[in-house]
Amino acid sequence: MKQLSDKVGTAARKVLFLGYNQKQTKLIEALISDGHEVWHCDHKITCTDGYDIAISFGYKYILKENVVNNNSCPVVNLHISYLPYNRGCHPNFWSFFDGTPSGVTIHLVDKGIDTGDILFQKYVNFSVEEKTFSQAYKRLVSEIEALFIKNKESIISKNFKATPQRGKGTYHELANFPKEFGGWDLVVSDEIDRLDNLLGGQIDQKLKVIDEIKKSAESE
């Protein structure tokens, strides 16, 4: 753990920021500017005792149950998908490949992977200029940082309403990612068409899965 702030305000919270550092996200500086005591960690942790809240953004490790069940220090995760769709790895790719909604979600962490109750989320529609996977990714990061900053007072003070996720949604592991993928700087529409043609028989199954998800959501 590394403490990033030593001058704190009278209403300061002790925040553990997991994942991205100050060069990778502006959220840490936003919390410091508000007078909070911010600690950073990008390695695997086993305990959050002594902190008021933990923020996970770009964090690569699955947390143990004793950490996510610590009611005195909830863990809040920032995920660049519109949950319950595209839990797990590379949500930006899968939203295009599966034809599911794009968006960003701030949610509580539970014992599942991206299955916790939702605090805030937003649909994202890309502009005509945002043609590549990399451009879409940058837009999603910008949107989730803006969503966090807009609601950071409620999040840090734990004055929020958590809503359970609805529907089955989708989940992808790293092993599911197509090895035929050509690269993040490619035009999304062109690369998805290429992969659809290349993977052939998998597409009908993919569409059946999407139909099942829609029917499940409509029946609730």
Query: Is the CB of residue 79 less than 8 Å from the CB of residue 105?
Result: yes
Q: Helix, strand or coil for residue 126?
A: coil
> Whole-prediction pTM value?
0.88
d(CA 151, CA 193): 38
Q: What share of the chain is helix, strand, coil (3-state, %, to 5)?
A: 35, 20, 45
Measure the CA–CA gap between 146 and 182, rounded to whole angstroms.
Answer: 30
Over residues 176-213, the pLDDT tens digits come to: 999 999 999 999 999 999 998 888 655 455 555 545 54
Q: Which residues of 162-179 are buried (b: 16+ CB within 10 A; e: fewer)?
A: eeebebebbbbeeeeeee
Over the stretch 121-143, which tens digit does the pLDDT of each residue have? 999 999 999 999 999 999 999 99
- Position 10 pLDDT exceeds 70: no
Structure tokens at 156: 């840090």
High-pLDDT (> 70) share of the chain, %: 88
Q: Is residue 105 within 8 Å of 162, Cβ to Cβ?
A: no
Q: What is the pLDDT of residues 55-112, one digit of tens each?
A: 999 999 999 999 999 999 999 999 999 999 999 999 999 999 999 999 999 999 999 9
